[in-house]
Amino acid sequence: MMKKIFEWLIAIIIALVLLFIVRTFLFIGYVVDGESMEPTFHDEDRLIVNKLVKNIGQIDNGDVIVFHANKEADFIKRVIGLPGDTVEMKNNKLYINGTQVNERYLNNDIKTDDFSTRTIQGSKSDVIPNGEYLVLGDNRSNSRDSREIGFVHEQDIVGKVNLRYYPFNQIDVNFDK
């Protein structure tokens, strides 16, 4: 009897250690709060965030990330500009490094006010500083993003969204189309 209890205890401890490792270093669950990423994500969507991606520097323009906006809240937004990029929104068209970007994930009815890298809060030049990212919500008229909070520091990034698993009829891994 004691042998069985000991085996179960060891199995539970191993499971808890593995869970701790996975949640701390690899993946974490996230629940969308609000409408700032519509139509891509909706309030209460359930996601898996890959924390490993940020550690190996694989965040690209168009990726959807979760980051610490402040001590109380994490935000979910789309990466629009990488360190060294210039970004400009002019006449509802996005330009990265002078090249127009087709934003297929946006609702075409929503208009975005003009801005540039230089007009972002805390910006000191026309390029995004090293170690920082420019992020925007897909629902541009209802989003607190870099236009309001400034650039996102690399150390504040939790990770990249890899999977929407709920609602079940909208399971997806591709969020740039």
Active site residue 123: no
Active site residue 77: yes
Catalytic residue among 51, 54, 77, 160: 77
Contact indicator for 81, 133 with CB cutoff of 8 Å: yes
Q: Which amino acid is at 8?
A: W
Catalytic residue among 36, 123, 143, 146: 36
State the sign of the Cα–Cα–Cα–Cα dihedral 169, 173, 175, 177.
Answer: negative
152 burial (CB, 10 Å; 0-12 / 13-18 / 19+) is buried
Contact indicator for 67, 30 with CB cutoff of 8 Å: no
Q: What are phi and psi of 165, to 5 degrees?
A: -110, -5
Contact indicator for 160, 27 with CB cutoff of 8 Å: no
What amino acid positions are annotated as catalytic residues? 36, 77
